[in-house]
Structure 1
Amino acid sequence: MQNRLTIKDIARLSGVGKSTGLARAQQRKRCQPNARVNASRAVMNQHGFSPSRSARAMRGQSDKVVAIIVSRLDSLSENLAVQTMLPPLL
């Protein structure tokens, strides 16, 4: 089974930068029409590329997730350290 192409692959195959390939995939108006940019559209059509909806949904959003890893849940010192870290995060 063949892996799905990414925008990096499309940009590489068409000889344009990733940003230009992405702008072309999203059909942004600021993307100047020229032979190389039009080549990226041709490569997308040839390979049946369509931008990922999940990637588009994640664009510009941040999750603001913090992970705290402790080695022992019953350790008094680690328990106190976590209790000290939590209030500023909440």
Structure 2
Amino acid sequence: MSEQKDVFEFPCRFPVKVMGERHEELTATVIEVVRVHAPDLDEVDVVVRESSSGKYLSLTVTVNAHSRAQLDQIYLALTSHAMVKIVL
């Protein structure tokens, strides 16, 4: 059996899309969760958009990814958070 090769070359800049219901603490909470695994995350690397109805927020968080394991940890931390609905 051959070893599975990663399609990404690390380190790289990797955008993570996060969606949740509009809440005044959503952006700060997502940044805090991501910084546990990517401490060099800068707030300028976070783009926030409001849904057309204003009920939801979409955040694009671009991290300096160093490994697949790091990205997996970020995804797990975000998807398990109560404020987060979807992570892409």
TM-score bracket, shorter-length normalisation: under 0.3
Relative to the length of structure 1, the TM-score reads: 0.26
Larger strand fraction of residues? 2
Identify the structure with the greater helix proportion: 1
When Rg is computed on C-alpha atoms for both structures, the one with the higher figure is 1
Greater RCO between the two (CA within 8 Å, min separation 6)?
A: 2
Instruction: Name the TM-score, length of structure 2 as normaliser.
Output: 0.26
